[in-house]
Amino acid sequence: MLKIISIIGARPQFIKAVPVSRAINEFNAKHDGFKSRIREILVHTGQHYDYNMSDIFFKELDLKKPDYYLKVGSHSHGRQTALMLERIEGVLKKESPDLVLVYGDTNSTLAGALAARKLHILLAHIEAGLRSYNMNMPEEVNRTVVDRVSDILFCPSKTAVDNLRLEGIRNSSSRTFPKVFLAGDVMYDAVLCYLTVAKKRSRILEKLSLTPKGYYLATVHRAENTDDRRRLKPILEGLSKIAEDKAPVIFPIHPRAKNAVRTFRMEGALQFLKVIEPVSYLDMLMLEKNARAVLTDSGGVQKEAYFLNVPCVTLRDETEWVETVDSKVNILTGADKKKIYKAVEKEVKFDKKKTRLYGDGKAAERIIGVIASQLSVRDKR
Ligand code: UD1
Ligand code: UDP
């Protein structure tokens, strides 16, 4: 029996972990009775803890209850990462897993990676190789460090593989690590799996009295936008102008943005927006799918817009998901009020026979197959 510890803690990681956990179950069903069966232990750091930032995803999606809940909560970067590091180290020492799996680029990812690396436990990173080349982003620091110390790197795109190669991280032909794999994006797996379920179960459009293509959807949570009043103000004003002149703007507000609006006393800038609490994944898929366009600074939401053939306006100066911009289905506006307003007027055409930029929806299955084979090769070494 192989023991894997998955470290999660922030909203997008719950969603990314779902297809991977499912792939582990499917792998076990196929290998019933074999030594290579996988036991997954789920560690939730507690980085996100509000009901609709955490529990809701465990209730709604096929994700087992965490085996360990580390209750770290919100702190400065240093303290939050340090608390996670200490507590994850305790779990890893107790469990001695064969491999640690980390996702994305949050502080939970960084802490999980450092804890594993220092205990000489094999480390795999899902969503490796993404770069914004903006080191002021906490995520860029996290992902660069995590990629540097990972043994197995699962890239969602070819660009990500190339980014790693530029940093000297490449798949060696020898039997040593690191090993880099173009796996595809597990978030695409999740969309393919849950869109039909969302269509059946979600009542969010009725609840908010929305008609398909009769509204815009916006999310804002990047520290670079929320923590800088000179960026947050024009973004909210751009969204408000769209709501005033064109169609309602639905704004499921992230707690970081909510806090920032309060701190900067910008409540007035929200008056034209339809502000709602963060929603469940199934409701979010329905809101995205039926929006006229999505305006966001979220990585996950940019890609979901692409998967669902919905135009995206990215409220940032750069993106890690450069392929969507190159394909002209995603427009970067930065925090420029006029550009934001104009961007939603641009006609966007989705290529009917579009190339799959982020894999074929079987990324998780591929990842688990690779992990199982790498661990069995290691055992034979
Ligand atoms: C984190 C990640 C970011 C990711 C995002 C997904 C880091 C450095 N950032 O950003 O990469 O895109 O999650 O949503 O890891 N808060 C609550 N309730 C919660 C969680 C947070 O009120 O359940 C508030 C707290 O005031 C907290 C603030 O939101 O200080 C920010 O939370 P934090 O987890 O530090 O960063 P995010 O902005 O959520
Ligand atoms: N999401 C959600 N409810 C919301 C907002 C987002 O379920 O109210 C989902 C969204 O569909 C995507 C993920 O959360 O799967 C993106 O997370 P977030 O924007 O917090 O972080 P990022 O992807 O930027 O790291």
**Residue from 174, 43, 187, 65 nearest 121 by CA:** 43
Are 53 and 200 part of one and the same domain? no
Q: 68-69 and 274-276: which strand pairing? A: unpaired
Phi/psi at 10 (nearest 5 deg)?
Answer: -115, 155
Give the nearest ligand 1 atom to 53 CA: 23
Lowest mean pLDDT among 20-24, 168-172, 218-222: 168-172
pLDDT number for residue 381: 60
Model confidence pLDDT, tens digit, residues 99-156: 999 999 999 999 999 999 999 999 999 999 999 999 999 999 999 999 999 999 999 9
Confidence of residue 202 (pLDDT cuts 50, 70, 90): very high
Are 249 and 305 part of one and the same domain? yes
Q: What percent of the chain has pLDDT over 70?
A: 99
Are 169 and 308 part of one and the same domain? no
Q: Which residue has the CA at smallest separation from atom 37 of ligand 1?
A: 256
Mapped to the 3 state alphabet, what secondary structure does the chain carry?
CEEEEEEECCHHHHHHHHHHHHHHHHHHHHCCCCCCCEEEEEEECCCCCCHHHCHHHHHHCCCCCCCEECCCCCCCHHHHHHHHHHHHHHHHHHHCCCEEEEECCCHHHHHHHHHHHHCCCEEEEECCCCCCCCCCCHHHHHHHHHHHHCCEEEECCHHHHHHHHHCCCCCCCCCCCCEEEECCCHHHHHHHHHHHHHHHHCCHHHHCCCCCCCCEEEECCCHHHHCCHHHHHHHHHHHHHHHHHCCCEEEECCHHHHHHHHHCCCHHHHCCCEEECCCCHHHHHHHHHCCCCEEECCHHHHHHHHHCCCCEEECCCCCCCHHHHHCCCEEECCCCHHHHHHHCCCCCCCCCCCCCCCCCCCHHHHHHHHHHHHHHHHHHC
Are 175 and 279 part of one and the same domain? no
Place of tokens 């309602």: 248
- Which two tokens mark 321? 């998901």
pLDDT number for residue 209: 98
Are 161 and 266 part of one and the same domain? no
Q: Which residue has the CA at smallest separation from atom 7 of ligand 2?
A: 281
C-alpha 105/C-alpha 95 separation (Å) is 24
What value does the mean pLDDT take over residues 18-35?
92
Confidence of residue 3 (pLDDT cuts 50, 70, 90): very high
pLDDT number for residue 380: 65
Q: Which residue has the CA at smallest separation from atom 23 of ligand 2?
A: 300
Ligand 1 center–CA 75 separation, angstroms: 10
Place of tokens 């929320």: 226
Are 166 and 233 part of one and the same domain? no
Are 153 and 203 part of one and the same domain? no
| Ligand 2 surroundings by CB, under 6 angstroms | 11-12, 15, 219, 221, 252, 278-279, 281, 284, 298-301, 304
Model confidence pLDDT, tens digit, residues 324-339: 999 999 999 999 999 9
C-alpha 92/C-alpha 121 separation (Å) is 9
Q: Could you list the active site residues?
A: 221
Q: Which residue has the CA at smallest separation from atom 16 of ligand 1?
A: 255
Place of tokens 């591929």: 366
pLDDT for residue 217 is more than 80: yes
Model confidence pLDDT, tens digit, residues 58-113: 999 989 999 999 999 999 999 999 999 999 999 999 999 999 999 999 999 999 99
**Which carries the bigger pLDDT value, residue 364 or residue 33?**
364
Whether 139 lines ligand 1, by a CB cut-off of 6 Å, is yes
pLDDT for residue 351 is more than 90: no
Are 6 and 154 part of one and the same domain? yes
pLDDT for residue 175 is more than 90: no
Lowest mean pLDDT among 81-90, 212-221, 293-302, 345-354: 345-354
Are 178 and 292 part of one and the same domain? no
CATH number of domain containing 293 = 3.40.50.2000
Ligand nearest to the CA of 223: 1
Are 296 and 181 part of one and the same domain? no
Lowest mean pLDDT among 77-81, 170-174, 208-212: 170-174
Are 153 and 42 part of one and the same domain? yes
**Cβ(92)–Cβ(116) under 8 Å?**
yes
Domain carrying residue 205 = 193-354
Residue type, 299: G
Model confidence pLDDT, tens digit, residues 270-316: 999 999 999 999 999 999 999 999 999 999 999 999 999 999 999 99
Give the nearest ligand 1 atom to 222 CA: 38
Number of Cβ within a 10 Å radius of residue 5: 26
The domain tally of the chain equals: 2
Which residues does residue 4 pair with via DSSP β-bridges, in sequence order? 40, 99
Are 24 and 157 part of one and the same domain? yes
